[in-house]
Amino acid sequence: MGGLPEYVHVNHRDARLFVVSLLVASGVSLQNAETVALGLVQADLRGVESHGINRLPSYLARIRNGVLDPKAEPTLTQITPVVAQVDGHNGFGFPAAHLAMKTAIEMAKTLGIGMASVKHSNHFGMSAWIVQQAVDAGMMSLVFTNSSPALPAWGGKEKLLGVSPIACGAPGGEGSIPFILDMAPSVAARGKIHKAKRRGEKIPGDWALDAEGRPTNDPDKALDGGVMLPMGGPKGSGLAIMMDVFSGVLSGSAFAGGVTGPYDMSQPGDVGHFLVAIKPDLFMSMDEFKGRMTTLYHRVVSSKKMEGVERIYFPGEIELLTEKKRLAEGIPFVQAEIDALNKEAELLKVGKIGESLRLECL
């Protein structure tokens, strides 16, 4: 007790193949399974374990309980030359969001901007992987989603608003890195509390309240009738409402506390997303834009540091450094997480994580 946990390190390729094998065995198409695996493993590589492959048991439980359709394929409707809508048909959120951003990028290439609303979707993991999709295409982006109730409206005590991430990005220039911002409107993402629960860890006392409205460092109490706390008080609450307006109200999906969470097996999620791609060279050449991004990067990271700070990071930089390290050393998991994942492998009769895996369809 009290010592540092021992970690099992898993190669990212093995992790992706493991995810694909579980999903294909659950009825998901190979293409969609690979998209889900991309998003989950990228989260683990970037150090966002709260949105990594440890989400699989809850996803698979939703399939088994009939509230997530593994065979659903997202469909696209073009609304205007720069606006599209994707219907997720209660399938995985990853393919629906990927299709929406792909479509937004194609529109932006021709017309400068593209936006896509997604309805009847589910959890799509870490928002940054969709921002990265746009960055890889040389695009700026906005990525919004709503989520199940976890936050009170400022001044309230009931769960009403989602811990819905606000994400955006832009390509970087030579000698810099891309700008990738992905943050929750709460003090901490709810997935971090689930992660602490899995690992038997305490949480900081300013993350959540228990069911009685008292600050707690116990993840079980935070999740059992408790609420997350918004960052910056009314500011975080306002941002959470903004996510619901753009993602839920606008799309025709659930909103105002109506989204079902990924750990709730009672009904479909009905999550909404809103994605925008913007061509960076609308007002100047791409070279000039990237040069300005490089200047911004260096001004930020070389600015004067406050006492006790060793280094100033650009948004997304810590995650990029973590990814480089984990690509070389593997993704760390505690044994309890490995055991939970391998329990799913046993149920579906596929190879366990860390073992030699092979899919006949690959």
Q: Do residues 223 and 241 share a domain? A: no
The per-residue pLDDT for 231 is: 86
Q: Tally the domains of the chain.
A: 3
Tokens of 300: 């930020």
Pairwise CA distance, residues 40 & 337, whole Å? 15
Average pLDDT, the chain: 93
Domain with residue 5: its CATH number is 1.10.1530.10
Angstrom CA distances, 21 to 15, 34, 103, 274, stand at: 10, 9, 28, 30
Rg (CA), the chain: 20
Q: Are residues 215 and 282 in the same domain?
A: no
φ/ψ of 28, rounded to 5, equals -80, 140
Residues pairing with 121 in the sheet: 271
Kindly state whether residues 17 and 40 are assigned to the same domain: yes
- Residue 249: which CATH number? 3.30.1370.60
- Domain-located, residue 116: yes
Domain boundary among 229, 263, 293: 229
Q: In percent, how much of the chain has pLDDT > 70?
A: 96
Residue 42 in domain? yes
Do 216 and 260 belong together in one domain?
no
CA 94, 19, 271: angle at the middle one, nearest 5? Answer: 25
Q: What is the pLDDT of residues 128-171, one digit of tens each?
A: 999 999 999 999 999 999 999 988 898 887 889 999 999 999 99
Each residue's pLDDT tens digit, 80-106: 999 999 999 999 999 999 999 999 999
What pLDDT was estimated at residue 146? 97
Within a domain: 272: yes
Is 53's pLDDT higher than 90? Answer: yes
Any domain includes 325:
no
Q: How confident is the model at residue 273 (pLDDT cuts 50, 70, 90)?
A: very high
Tens digits of residue pLDDT in 204-232? 888 888 888 888 999 898 888 788 888 88
Same domain, 3 and 114: no
Measured from the Cβ of residue 327, the count of other Cβ atoms closer than 10 Å reads 13
Mean pLDDT of 226-255: 93
What range defines the domain where residue 239 resides?
Answer: 70-183+232-315
Q: Tell me what pLDDT residue 193 has.
A: 86
Q: What is the pLDDT, as a whole number, of residue 355?
A: 63
User: Are both 142 and 98 inside the same structural domain?
Assistant: yes
pLDDT band at 3 (very low <50, low <70, confident <90, very high): low
**CA-angle at 113, arms to 184 and 172, nearest 5°:** 60
Tell whether 102 and 207 lie within a shared domain. no
Closest CA to 138 of 319, 291, 280: 280
Please tell me what DSSP assigns to residue 224. Answer: S
In a domain, 142, yes or no: yes
Is residue 94 located within the same domain as residue 146?
A: yes
Q: Is residue 273 part of a domain?
A: yes
Statement to judge: residues 61 and 179 lie in one domain: no
Domain membership flag for residue 341: yes
3 state SS of 305: coil
Q: CATH code at 207?
A: 3.30.60.50
Same-domain check for residues 130 and 32: no
Phi first, then psi, for residue 142 (nearest 5°) are -125, 135
- For residues 68-78, give the mean pLDDT: 98
| 245 and 208 co-located in one domain | no
Structure pTM?
0.91
User: How many CA within 13 A on the CB side of residue 34?
Assistant: 6
- DSSP conformation class of 249: I
Q: In this structure, are 242 and 271 located in the same domain?
A: yes
Q: What is the Cα 284 distance to its own chain's centre?
A: 32
Q: Please indicate, yes or no, if residue 310 is contained in any of the structural domains.
A: yes
